[in-house]
Structure 1
Amino acid sequence: MNEQKLIRKLRKGKEKAYRYLFSEYYDWLCNYVFSLCNDRSLAEDIVQDAIVALWEKRKVIIITTSLKNYLFKTCHNQFLQHVRSQKIKFDTLDKIRWDVVSEATLEDDLYDFRMEKLKRLIDGLPPRCREIFVQNKLEEKKYKEIALEMGISVKTVENQMSKALHFLRANATTFML
C-alpha cells in the first residue's frame, strides 16, 4: 500500500489501515529498538507506545518524511526518553554504540545521507574535541588510554567528550530525519 494512501486512511480512522501499519512496521521497529537496548520486552513496549501514539494523534500529526522514517524517529526518541526517565548515568548513555545506525535496516540512501551529515557534524567539532571523540567512538579507545596518548588528564578527556556529545545531540535533528 502506498504510504500517502496509508496516511490518509489512518487520518480517517480506518482500522484496517492501522492493522496494516502494525503488521508492516512492527517487527522492523522492534528490531531497531532492540539493537539500542538489548531488551526485547522494552523494545516491544516502546514500539507499541509509538504506534498507539500515532493512532491517537493521527488527525493532527503532519508527516513530512516517509511514514517509515517518521516511525523510526518516534521510536528512537521514545527510547531516549525512556533512558532519561530511568536516570541512567551519563557514562551509560555514552556506551550506546554509534554503529547502531549502521546495523539498523534503513534504506541505503537514508543511511548514506545520515552518515554524511554525521561526518560533517563531527568535522564541525573543535580539533582537540574531534580528535578525542574519534579516538573514543570510532577507534574505541578508553578515556584513560586517550589521556595517556595525548598527555592530558582523564577529566579533560571526559569534558571534551561531554562537549562533543552535547554538540552532536543538539544538532542531531539535522542528520536523523
Structure 2
Amino acid sequence: MTDQKLIKKLRKGNEKAYHYLFLEYYDWLCNYVFNLCKNRSLSEDIVQDAMIVLWEKREIIMITTSLKNYLFKTCHNQFLQHIRSQKIEFDTLDKIRWDVISEVTLEDDLFDFRMEKLNKLINQLPPRCKEIFIQSKLEKKKYKEIALDMGISVKTVENQMSKALNFLRANAAIFML
C-alpha cells in the first residue's frame, strides 16, 4: 500500500489502515527510540504514545515528507518531550543525536557518518556555546527562553548561536557534500 493511500484511509478513520501502519513500523520505531534511551520498555511506551497521537490527530495531520520520515520525527519529538517532562540532566540531552537533515531517511548510508561527524563538531564547541546551541536546536527553545534559563541576555544567546552555526557551517561543509 502506498503512503498516500494509507494516509487517505487513515484520515477517514480506517482501523485496518491504522493496524497495518502499526504492524509495519512499530518494531522499526521501537528500535530507533531504544537507540536513544537504551530502555526497551520506555521505547515501546514512547512509540505507542506517538501512534496514539497519530490516530487522535489523523484528520488534521499534514504529512509533507514520507510517512516513514513523519513517524521517525514524531517518535523523536515524543522522546524529547519525555526527557523534558522528566527534567533529565543536560548531559543526557547532550548524548541525543541531533537531526540536522530534515529529509534524511534511516536507509541513507551517509546518515550515520554525518551524525557522527556532526556530534564531534558539536562537542568541539565551547561549553556555553554548545549548551545554547543544543537548547535552541534540539530542545527547540526560543532565544528568550534560553536567556531566561541561563540568566543571560537574548543578545548573548544570539551571538553564541551565530558563533556555533558559523563554526558548524565552516566545518560541516566537507562531509555534507
* TM-score (structure 1 length as normaliser): 0.65
Distance 1:32 1:135 in 2: 21
Given the superposition, is the C-alpha separation of residues 22 and 135 from structure 1 closer, same or farther in structure 2, using an over 3 Å criterion?
closer
Give the number of the structure with larger relative contact order, counting CA–CA contacts within 8 Å between residues 6 or more apart.
1
Tell me what 1:165 maps to: 134
Distance 2:107 2:19 in 1: 23
Which runs of 5 or more structure 2 residues have no equivalent in the other structure?
141-160, 162-177
Distance 2:98 2:20 in 1: 32
Give the total of aligned pairs: 136
Given the superposition, is the C-alpha separation of residues 52 and 33 from structure 1 closer, same or farther in structure 2, using an over 3 Å criterion?
same
Tell me what 1:141 maps to: none
Q: Which runs of 4+ in 1 moved over 6 A?
A: none
What percentage of aligned pairs have identical amino acids? 67
RMSD: 3.4
Are the equivalent residues in 1 in contact too, given 2:26–2:47 (CA < 8 A)? yes
Distance 2:67 2:34 in 1: 20
Deviations 1:82-120 (CA, angstroms, capped at 9, x unpaired): 001100111221133569x9xxx81217838x949x98x
Given the superposition, is the C-alpha separation of residues 20 and 110 from structure 1 closer, same or farther in structure 2, using an over 3 Å criterion?
farther
* TM-score (structure 2 length as normaliser): 0.65
Which runs of 5 or more structure 1 residues have no equivalent in the other structure?
123-132, 138-145, 147-156, 172-177
User: Do residues 136 (structure 1) and 129 (structure 2) align?
Assistant: no
